[in-house]
Amino acid sequence: MNFSAIRTIYTFEMARAFRTLLQSIVSPVVSTSLYFVVFGGAIGSRIQEVDGVDYGSFIVPGLIMLSLLTQSIANASFGIYFPKFVGTIYEILSAPVSYVEIVVAYVGAAATKSILLGLIILATASLFVPLRIEHPFVMVLFLVLTAVTFSLFGFIIGIWADGFEKLQLIPLLVVTPLTFLGGSFYSISMLPPLWHTVSYFNPVVYLVSGFRWSFFGKSDVGVAASLAMTLVFLAVCLVLVAWIFRTGYKLKR
């Protein structure tokens, strides 16, 4: 394992994030704070509690997960797409660096940035609403697994995309709607029977539910099922990344 190469790529990607601090950190935190003001204030005044949890506190795991998913995908997809766009990806591929080291560096940097952002949002949320974390180890586990999984997914999107428009296509048209419909701001038990059943086909429900369980010990889906779904998606992403490098998909001229 070429740790020097991993460190070089990782350091470069992290430095890029700090050079664009307003876009990478400040903007998502401000946007999430507005969610607290709008949903926690306007809707929270009408919905006092959900499953025995204050509504303002109830939406915190969903908001963190929303930011985690979108930022993990954005960081990883742009991180690998930009070298493709300027042509430096071929220098990396021709260097004595294995595919595993490339993935570890790019995905590791994207996941690190997303985890830091999630922790900052968690600290920001504590300024707005009272919070408790009943299972901190599980919370960190879901935070790390989700960040790594969706950074891998973003890495795949960055390889697949052949234009800046495509980088936003799946996050905007698929991931964000699934997150909003995945119980981020409500419990799926509040839905009519038909839509309650349909919600179980939304993979984001399992992510949000497991993450929420780590905070309050309450969830729409069992924590074991949530963890299993996360690991399945992680495995699928790993298989796709392995296939991409084995076949050279969208990497060979």
CA neighbor of 250 nearest in space, from 80, 79, 100: 80
CA distance 246 to 196: 41
CB 145 within 8 A of CB 111: no
Confidence of residue 43 (pLDDT cuts 50, 70, 90): low
> Is residue 133 scored above 60 in pLDDT?
yes
Tens of pLDDT along 81-119? 888 887 777 777 777 888 888 889 999 999 999 999 888
In the three-class reduction of DSSP (H, G, I as helix; E, B as strand; rest coil), residue 186 is classed as: coil
CA neighbor of 67 nearest in space, from 179, 228, 195, 190: 179
Query: pLDDT value at position 45?
Result: 59
Confidence of residue 252 (pLDDT cuts 50, 70, 90): low
Query: pLDDT value at position 247?
Result: 85
Query: pLDDT value at position 209?
Result: 92
> Is residue 123 scored above 70 in pLDDT?
yes
Query: pLDDT value at position 206?
Result: 92
Rg, Å, the chain Cα set: 19
CA distance 98 to 104: 10
User: pLDDT exceeding 90 applies to what percent of the chain?
Assistant: 25
Confidence of residue 142 (pLDDT cuts 50, 70, 90): very high
At 138, give phi and psi (nearest 5°). Answer: -65, -35
Q: How far is CA 73 from CA 77, 98, 174, 247, in A?
A: 6, 23, 12, 23
Average pLDDT, the chain: 84
Query: pLDDT value at position 231?
Result: 93
Tens of pLDDT along 18-33? 777 666 677 777 777 7
CA distance 104 to 91: 17
Mean per-residue pLDDT, 189-200: 86
Higher pLDDT, 49 or 223: 223
Rounded to two decimals, what is the model's pTM? 0.89
Query: pLDDT value at position 234?
Result: 93
